[in-house]
Amino acid sequence: MKLKNINIGIAGLGQIGGRLYKEILSKKKDIKIKTGININIIAISAKNIKKRRNFKINKNIFYKNPLKISKHKNIHILFELIGFSDGISKRIVETALKNKKHVITANKALIAKHGDYLSLLAEKNKVNLEFEAAVGGGIPILRTLKDGLSTNKINKVVGILNGTCNYILSEMEFLKDSFTNVLKRAQSLGYAEPRNPKFDLNGQDALSKVKILSALAFNKKISKDNCLMNGIENIELEDIEMANKLDYRIKLLGITEIINNKLFERVHPCLINKNNYIANINGVMNAVILDGMPVGQNVLQGEGAGPGPTSSALMSDLLSILRGNIKYPFGIPSYKRKKINSYNKELYLNSFYLRFEVKDRPGVLSSITKIFAKNKISIKNLIQKPNRKNNKASIIILTHENLEKNFSNLFINLSKNKFILKKPTFIRIEKV
């Protein structure tokens, strides 16, 4: 049997694109054995061809304008590895799909914002839009939802979805080092964006992944509503150490679930009991817990940051296409995906850990507890740590469960207290 030839284009040759480029070139024979297809990279594009890289670029296939790759008549599969939700990334993918080319991307921001529109384009043109690498690094979480658990009713998805944040929180605990120092180390190792790691740290990256998981888990349109989102930027070593003493660990979790037929998506740091499985996922590892019927709980774990895991997921999508698996991007036809109203986050029932730095003088503690009482929030545990040298004290409070709206009012009132020296740190206590 004569072997088929499939031509590939790659837009973006950063850490991920560069690793993929080398991976494809080195594994052509292996891919041929597994699929019976010859693959050839016939077009590549990058912002700067002169940038120093650890591999040679074939200048004969280099395109300064990546849109030309999207329109290239001989290209069958395009990899979009530039990033960002709009601009050139969106135009590349949109153009490629309209020109009946399969698209593979790791761009979670693009899919979270424009996934509904782009999936419809793919369906109309009978091509694939694959994005396994957008969520969970090397964990095949999306394929598990689309294929392995497709007949299950998923009730809840909980996960550590950002390897950068998990690395920082783990290293702070085990090395007893500051947030700033550990962030610098993460940047030097390539786990965090060297110039601007904001989207990792503030929870936006994880929230994009939550929106994609929601769409697949619940067969729904991608939510456009504002969700509950907090990052790890304000967590200090003192919080890590205090959590440890209280038998907790701090993790940034992404959670999506259906409550009273409404969708509740959220990303925020959580205090999790040390005995919990997900509390013991450390370093750049990701882990996702799927709760479904009849399967029960499924746990998937793997590296969530770095070129290696991402490249692995991209190659998985490539082989799926080469084997002729033409699928709906979100598992079912777009017209069957429903819109679900969002749960009112103010009604969310949870408990909190709070830490204040205050002036150490008589009446301070009394004034703070009065604010709690005024907002109908019950204190479960209170710890006071005085610092006699500078006449300051740390106050740590664990609360009983209450409505999110009451906590929101509490934080507003606390910010007005003249004895509190800086904005309080607050972390939700989560039962996973």
* Per-domain boundaries in the chain: 4-130, 141-304+338-343, 346-429
Residue of 195, 127, 186 whose CA lies nearest to 162 = 186
**pLDDT value at residue 137:** 81
User: Under CATH, to which class is 4-130 assigned?
Assistant: alpha beta
CATH superfamily assigned to domain 141-304+338-343: Dihydrodipicolinate Reductase; domain 2 (3.30.360.10)
Contacts of 322 (CB under 8 A, 6+ apart): 6, 31, 35, 37, 39
Cα 107 to Cα 208: distance, rounded to the nearest angstrom = 10
Alpha carbon 256 to its chain centroid, in Å, reads 12
Cα 67 to Cα 85: distance, rounded to the nearest angstrom = 16
209 assigned to active site:
yes
Q: In this structure, what token pair is assigned to residue 127?
A: 């091509």
Q: Decide yes or no: CATH 3.40.50.2020 for domain 346-429.
A: no
- At 97, is the secondary structure helix, strand, or coil? helix
Q: Check for a shared fold between 141-304+338-343 and 346-429.
A: no
Q: Which of 101, 113, 146, 209 is catalytic?
A: 209
Between strands 262-273 and 129-130, the pairing is unpaired
Check if the beta carbon of residue 11 is closer than 8 Å to that of residue 92. Answer: yes
Helices (H), 60-203: 67-71, 88-98, 108-124, 141-143, 163-175, 179-188, 198-201
The DSSP code for 342 is B
Tell me: the pLDDT tens digits for 370-397? 999 999 999 999 998 887 777 888 999 9
Tens digits of pLDDT across the chain (432 residues) = 345 899 999 999 988 899 999 999 999 999 999 999 999 999 999 887 777 787 788 889 999 999 999 999 999 999 999 988 999 999 999 999 999 999 999 999 999 999 999 999 999 999 999 999 999 888 899 999 998 888 889 999 999 999 999 999 999 999 999 999 999 999 888 788 877 889 999 999 999 999 999 999 999 999 988 789 999 999 999 999 999 999 999 999 999 999 999 999 999 999 999 999 999 999 999 999 999 889 888 899 998 767 888 999 999 999 999 998 788 999 999 999 999 999 999 999 999 999 989 888 888 888 999 999 999 999 999 998 887 777 888 999 999 999 999 999 999 998 888 888 888 899 999 987
Check if the beta carbon of residue 220 is closer than 8 Å to that of residue 339. Answer: yes
